[in-house]
């Protein structure tokens, strides 16, 4: 996309596809999470941002490319009346606030409503994969096969069709391909984050809400083939079985968290939490 420039375009699937195309044509692979991942699956978004995940060695280059394409990292005057959604989520936040804290943010000319009728602009958030999705393989450029175990396209025909009335459903296949995690890989990542953050304030249950959100909006039923137990890695299957049977946090689920932590620590596969200001134990 030679000469591509951001000029305040509407925040929608097309803009996301343009951003991904701009980055990938400059050799930077990424994948989409957050609101627009959930919307592609058929559920409304939660956080009002475009959220992309990168390898650590690519993320600074991605920032430079987006700046060059006129994506603003300082709030532009033409929507100065809208609050920044990032401000409440800085490292002084509480355990109840969003733990998806980006490496870097740009500010877009979209808007959404938050709590207490506060009106925010939309952020473009960039995350380092190793902080949230360390169990996924190294990101690469190129097409996906239909049987890829880790990623699918946001335009995959197996996702529900887009509904004009509520802007939910898969991306049009006329847009540049955008990758999202395979649903079971996303669930597994949230399980790993819950286990990693068990010893911080809130015990990592924030990450569990990302999983239960899929139940709330019946994604587990709508996308049934994506949630077959055999698709999960064996280490996660017991926890998924408990989630299928229980509506609330149970003793069995807490035991699953402890078992997962024990296995990860024994295998020396438990990374340190970046949320160090929320740690409650040494």
For 255-271, give the DSSP string: HHHHHHHHHHHHTT--P
From 159, 181, 203, give the residue that closes a domain: 181
User: Residue 257's pLDDT is what?
Assistant: 92
- In angstroms, the CA 36 to CA 49 distance is 8
- Which segments in the chain show pLDDT lower than 70? 46-47, 75-98, 111-119, 164-166, 247-249, 277-282
Structure tokens at 148: 């890829």
- In angstroms, the CA 248 to CA 96 distance is 18
143 and 259 belong to one structural domain:
no
Q: How far is CA 2 from CA 10, 18, 59, 106, in A?
A: 20, 12, 20, 21
44 and 161 belong to one structural domain:
yes
Instruction: Read off the DSSP letter of residue 137.
Output: P
User: Residue 107's pLDDT is what?
Assistant: 87
| Segment (H or E) for 20 | helix 13-24
73 and 177 belong to one structural domain:
yes
Residue 83 pairs in a beta bridge with 120
- In angstroms, the CA 26 to CA 41 distance is 28
- HSE of 246, CA atoms in CB hemisphere, 13 A: 15
Q: How far is CA 32 from CA 87, 137, 178, 180, in A?
A: 22, 15, 7, 5
- In angstroms, the CA 190 to CA 207 distance is 5
Query: Per the domain annotation, does 262 fall within a domain?
Result: yes
From 135, 153, 181, give the residue that closes a domain: 181
42 and 19 belong to one structural domain:
yes
Q: Which residues contact 233 (CB under 8 A, 6 or more apart)?
A: 188
Q: Using alpha carbons only, give the angle 36, 194, 263 rounded to the nearest 5 degrees.
A: 130
Query: Per the domain annotation, does 2 fall within a domain?
Result: no
Query: Per the domain annotation, does 1 fall within a domain?
Result: no
Domain count of the fold of the chain: 2
- In angstroms, the CA 141 to CA 23 distance is 10
User: Residue 93's pLDDT is what?
Assistant: 37
Strand order of the β-sheet with 31-33 is: 31-33, 49-54, 119-128, 104-113
- In angstroms, the CA 19 to CA 67 distance is 12
Query: Per the domain annotation, does 136 fall within a domain?
Result: yes
| Segment (H or E) for 64 | helix 56-68
Per the structure, the complete domain to which residue 190 belongs is given by 183-278
158 and 207 belong to one structural domain:
no
Query: Per the domain annotation, does 274 fall within a domain?
Result: yes
Largest CA distance in the chain: 56
What is the bridge-based pairing of β-strands 104-113 and 119-128?
A: antiparallel
Query: Per the domain annotation, does 244 fall within a domain?
Result: yes
Query: Per the domain annotation, does 6 fall within a domain?
Result: no
Query: Per the domain annotation, does 4 fall within a domain?
Result: no
Structural contact between residues 154 and 162, judged by C-beta atoms closer than 8 angstroms: no
């Amino acid at each position: 996309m030679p000469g591509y420039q951001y000029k305040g375009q509407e925040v929608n699937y097309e803009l996301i596809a343009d951003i991904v195309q701009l980055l990938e044509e400059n050799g930077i692979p990424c994948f989409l999470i957050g609101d627009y991942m959930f919307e592609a699956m058929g559920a409304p978004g939660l956080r009002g941002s475009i959220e992309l995940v990168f390898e650590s060695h690519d993320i600074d280059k991605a920032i430079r490319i987006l700046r060059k394409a006129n994506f603003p990292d300082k709030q532009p005057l033409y929507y100065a009346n809208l609050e920044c959604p990032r401000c409440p989520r800085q490292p002084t936040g509480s355990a109840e606030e969003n733990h998806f804290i980006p490496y870097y943010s740009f500010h877009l000319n979209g808007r959404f409503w938050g709590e207490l009728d506060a009106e925010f602009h939309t952020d473009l958030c960039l995350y380092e994969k190793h902080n949230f999705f360390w169990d996924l393989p190294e990101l690469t450029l190129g097409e996906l096969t239909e049987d890829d175990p880790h990623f699918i396209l946001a335009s995959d025909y197996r996702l529900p069709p887009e509904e004009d009335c509520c802007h939910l459903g898969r991306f049009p296949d006329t847009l540049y391909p955008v990758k999202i995690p395979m649903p079971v890989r996303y669930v597994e990542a949230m399980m790993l984050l819950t286990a990693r953050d068990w010893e911080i304030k809130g015990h990592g249950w924030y990450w569990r809400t990302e999983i239960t959100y899929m139940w709330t909006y019946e994604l587990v039923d709508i996308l049934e083939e994506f949630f077959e137990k055999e698709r999960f890695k064996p280490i996660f299957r017991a926890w998924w079985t408990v989630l299928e049977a229980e509506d609330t946090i149970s003793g069995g689920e807490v035991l699953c968290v402890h078992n997962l932590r024990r296995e990860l620590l024994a295998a020396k596969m438990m990374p340190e939490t970046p949320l160090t200001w929320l740690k409650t134990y040494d």
